[in-house]
Amino acid sequence: MTGKPVRESVSEYAQLALPTDANNFGNVLGGTIMHLVDVAGAMAAMRHARRPVVTASVDSFQFLHPVRIGHLIVLRSSVNRVFRTSIEAGVHVETENLVTGERVHTCSAYLTFVALDSGGRPAPVEPVIPETGDEKRRYRQAGERRESRLALRNRMQTGNPARH
């Protein structure tokens, strides 16, 4: 199989949670975390495709723990699977208390990106090669998620997104 191994797309991004990121409760705004997840996912997708990418979809967000001001937000991302011009990337977010060193899983998300050519049109991307057991599981599950996303898109195009 030709392509690139998942490990070549692995990216890490970290940002300190500052007061300008806070809501009234002293936690980082959810939208700020969502923005960082989009950036981290795009880094992995671009690292794999070696072309510009745009966000096509984001699967659900489940915030498990709040992010406090002064903590470090650490995002790890990698490509799970490639579907001709689209790329699914997974992003895992942890928050680190820099004083105690304690880390907690904050949220995870799957994003789909579309690779673009120099004219801004969708461009083919070489496959990703899963090597480890976890990578193979994520590769398989990415196919299942894609089927669900395409079914939802079809329902939305026919005007009935709530129909199951």
Q: Give the type of residue at 37.
A: V
Residue 125 has a CB neighbour count (10 Å cut-off) of: 24
Residue 38 lies in a domain: yes
pLDDT value of residue 98 = 97
Higher pLDDT, 164 or 13: 13
**Does some domain include residue 30?**
yes
Fill in the amino acid letter for 31: G
pLDDT tens profile 145-159: 998 888 888 888 887
Task: Look at the chain and report how many structural domains it folds into.
Answer: 1
Is residue 25 in some structural domain? yes
- What CATH code is carried by the domain that includes residue 17? 3.10.129.10
Query: Is residue 146 one of the residues assigned to a domain?
Result: yes
Under 8 Å between Cβ of 42 and 52: no
* Spatial separation of the C-alpha atoms in residues 104 and 108, rounded to whole Å: 12
Residue range(s) defining the domain that contains residue 24: 4-157
Domain contains 163: no
Per the domain annotation, does 35 fall within a domain? yes
What are 4-36's pLDDT values in tens digits?
A: 999 999 999 999 999 999 999 999 999 999 999
Q: 104 lies in a domain?
A: yes
Does residue 26 lie in a domain region?
A: yes
- pLDDT tens for residues 97-138? 999 999 999 999 999 999 999 999 999 999 999 999 999 999
pTM of full prediction above 0.75? yes
Question: pLDDT digit string (tens) for 37-88?
Answer: 999 999 999 999 999 999 999 998 889 999 999 999 999 999 999 999 999 9
Instruction: Please report, for residues 34, 113, 139, 159, 163, the alpha-carbon distance to residue 134 in angstroms, rounded to integers and kept in the order given.
Output: 24, 21, 8, 37, 33
